[in-house]
Amino acid sequence: MNSTKLTLKKMIFFGYHGVYAEERKLGQQIEVDVELVSDLTEAGLKDDLELTVNYVDVYEAVRKIVETEQFSLIEGMALAILNRLGKKYTLKSITVRVRKPQPPVGGVVEAAEFEISKEF
C-alpha cells in the first residue's frame, strides 16, 4: 500500500471568531492548511476523480466550518475541521493548521497558529 499526501495550503477565509467581543463583532482573516494522507495511487493510475480526495470538496467543507460556525479558540476550529474531514474520507492521517494573522496580543506578532494531527 502506498502513502500519498494531498495538501491545501493557506486557504484564506473571513470569520467571526475569538475570545474578545470585538473579534466576534468585526471579524478577521483566518488561514487554514490541511494535509490528508491516504493511498490515492488507484486514482492516479485510473485518472479518476471519483477515486481521490476531491480538493474542491475539502475546500468547501473547511470554508463552511470557518465561515458559518463560531469558535472562541482556533483550537476548537482546527478540531472541528479535523473531525469533519476525518469522517468524510478514508485517511491514514490528517494534519490541520489554523492561523489567525496579527492576533490581539498587545504587540507585534505575525500570526498565532495551532496544529493538530490524527492517525487513523
Q: Residues 43, 4, 11, CA angle at the centre, nearest 5°?
A: 95
Dihedral sign for Cα atoms in the order 59, 64, 67, 70: negative
Q: In the numeric block, which cell numbers belong to residue 88?
A: 468524510
Active site residue 100: yes
Of 5, 87, 92, 100, catalytic? 100
Residue 74 has a CB neighbour count (10 Å cut-off) of: 23
Query: 25, 15 in Cβ contact below 8 A?
Result: no
Query: 32, 86 in Cβ contact below 8 A?
Result: no
Report the catalytic residues: 100
